[in-house]
Chains A and B, each alone.
Chain A
């Protein structure tokens, strides 16, 4: 029996693949899919927080497959599109994203790609049918497909870089803070003398794709990223470290660095010096809010809605900083059956949240939040409605975030997490203030009513008593 999923937030695999390759500088995506598949992704993401990359929406090259391409095959249309694209758009790597139409009809895309590669153009093709999975699937598989074939094109091997680390799991556009988070993880690793291949954003690009094979290590944060890291491991024997979540404090940063030390030698003096500075920075800001924590009673019951990695990271943060209790955690990226990944975060999740749910159905999520009786929600803008309805503050930290522009802000590391702490406190204070204002307005109305009542019931002599009761009730609520 089919079920309706309200406000699904994960998009399809093509969307994940498209937003992944769009954010690699130098890459030109060529979407071989039904007309508007790429545009739908643009329309969804253009309303969210992170701005738009060079190739987005209507400027993305695509075949816009029609019914006749389904019936007669779309390979020749794709050939036409690739040839035109390489003529008019400069790129250091052209990535063909074959989606549903191509997958179902079985277009011979390999032949089209070979043809254009033989003419000296850097083109790789990937088969990411939208129906294969969500945007998370698309992120992982498109990277895995690229790594499987790109080195056939880019023959120049370069040299192994013993300090280079590949970063996976910070998903472009899916993590509202992806740009800042990539910068923050780079800052941390640079701090102990390491270099990063972050692939995406201002400091990423096709060079990172080319250099990925020369890295000394790959790190995956959260569930998503294991597959491309595995491909690099199989092809170039690059070891992989899996972390349940991105770091939130100096201790996490230490644990991360010590994990890396199993594969890469790090100068101890540099490390300790760096971590000492991190600790100092953390202590400075965390202790600055101690009064806020007590005065505003910030140790509230919290519901967190987002990717598993967000839930682990932010759940741990609110527990440690505010003494909050996570009464409900909703994993919006969880699969019913996950046979592709080895990472099991069950234990970590249980240590963070009292109740764990797996759903991306807004109706379920709203019910979970309501039943949890949480006093604060950390989630996406899609939780705004339920939060407003129950008069509880919302901290927007997971996809999608509307009405807020997030560019290089981070939500990880000792520097990025300060912003999240500030947002949490601000959200609580604002909500409390709004609540207070609402009550005061009610009180005013009520007092106004009393005047009317005083006038109307002058002869009843009950006016004084009504006023006393209402004032008392208001004070208690405040």
Chain B
């Protein structure tokens, strides 16, 4: 398809080039931070970024970088570098790609800018602890660990005290590293913006309740980058308002991302970054749209636990309650809610070799979904970045069999 034809097609969205530009500028700024007199912090994807924004620190996400490495299909090479250094192939491919890239360079943007500090929050997994310790040793920079206790059934008072104290530790850490006072007024503004961004992001995702869905999970994986990296800034608000307008217009005009949408599915786990196009085409060719996913909604799922007038006082709890830090029963509850909300015909689960906390429990969630909603469930084995863990022929057979099962209904 020529560029001109593509612009006229239903798949084209004005927001996309806008987003690309924002991300390009963001990474340029981060890369040249030292010439701009700015500090850079590396932070985990589920980490509390707002205090960094309030402090004027540029946050950089090895995991977002990992996703870019996956999409650009440079993951295997970088993983191999890490494996050559002695890291196991069983280690998370984001960690391997990051460690490999820090050691040997490469990747789609020639590596991340060197950090001045590292912020690690273990609400997403335990791997990040060792991963960030390794990077702290390598770059000889201070590391702050925000430890979020696992929420098996409930978030206890003790847990609340524990995380709230760490919020104060975090602020002191930033004051020490930056050698300046933490701007609490600015923090209030940033906190409010962050909450608004989360609400906007939820609205963006909710447009997919429309039939046909104006965007699919594959689009959400792309538009997600901003709520991950820059929530709390004005840029994010402006962008998501623009995106939401565009999506609402698509809904009004009945424009679906999958023209022939007949089946609607829910996706679970991280994207298979190195096969995004193949997967979206494979499903679209079978008249199926992946209309929602458990992954992108994780960045707005706890917004109701945040008091926008007391962001610092409430963020500890919100960051602790995220999707990957709760018990399987709670996860299943969220999945069931999404199934009902987006009116899907089945669940597609990516059993991700890299992400153990996400993949562990999938068979239980699958059983619960089958029992409570009677929906078919497909499990695809792969890895978010390491393409060696994926076989197209096997995946295609499973998808075909799944579609035949759905079609039988």
Question: Do they bind each other?
Answer: no
Chain B positions near chain A (C-beta within 8 angstroms): none
